[in-house]
């Protein structure tokens, strides 16, 4: 089973709202990732968690706040977003970050900021 699940599938929010994206995997993977993908562009790395600790933040604005409550769950808290933040947000996981490993992606949350 190489399934990563994400909720919600779609989200529409205003610029003053607070919302959260959720990601879950039950493959025993110890590395989890958030990516942002704009239309017709490749995914861009935002955050990496390794063994539940934040290991990489790709200079993401503070209006995006990641959280890893346990090894199976990854959240992305959203606050005061801008319309240009509208995109597909993808979660991925891999066995670890110690060796090159395949990253498995979820279906994404399509976010629209009004």
Partner 1 sequence: GESVGLHLPTLSVQEGDNSIINCAYSNSASDYFIWYKQESGKGPQFIIDIRSNMDKRQGQRVTVLLNKTVKHLSLQIAATQPGDSAVYFCAENMEGGSEKLVFGKGTKLTVNP
Tell me the Ramachandran region of residue 40: left when phi exceeds 0, alpha when psi lies from -120 to 50, beta otherwise.
left
Nearest to 20 by CA among 65, 62, 61: 65
H helix or E strand, kind and range, residue 77: strand 73-79
50 binds partner 1 (CB under 8 A): yes
Q: Which member of 85, 104, 111, 113 binds partner 1 (CB under 8 A)? A: 104
3-class DSSP assignment, residue 6? strand
43 binds partner 1 (CB under 8 A): yes
108 binds partner 1 (CB under 8 A): yes
Per-residue x/- mask for partner 1, residues 84 to 103, rule CB under 8 A? ------x---xxxxxxxxxx
Shortest Å distance, C-beta 16 to partner 1: 28
Q: Which member of 39, 62, 70, 84 binds partner 1 (CB under 8 A)? A: 39
Number of residues counted as binding partner 1 (CB under 8 A) = 32
3-class DSSP assignment, residue 17? coil
Q: Torsions phi, psi of 17, nearest 5?
A: -75, 160
Q: Which residues bind partner 1 (CB under 8 A)?
A: 2, 4, 6, 31, 39-45, 48, 50, 55-56, 90, 94-108, 110
């Amino acid at each position: 089973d190489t399934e990563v699940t994400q909720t919600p599938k779609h989200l529409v929010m205003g610029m003053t709202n607070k919302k959260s994206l959720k990601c879950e995997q039950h493959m025993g993977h110890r590395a989890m990732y958030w990516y942002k993908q704009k239309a017709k562009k490749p995914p861009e790395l935002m955050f990496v968690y390794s063994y539940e600790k934040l290991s990489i933040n790709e200079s993401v604005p503070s209006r995006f706040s990641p959280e890893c409550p346990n090894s199976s769950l990854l959240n992305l808290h959203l606050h005061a977003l801008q319309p240009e933040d509208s995109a597909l947000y993808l979660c991925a996981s891999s066995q670890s970050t110690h060796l090159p490993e395949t990253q498995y992606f979820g279906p994404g949350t399509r976010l629209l900021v009004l």
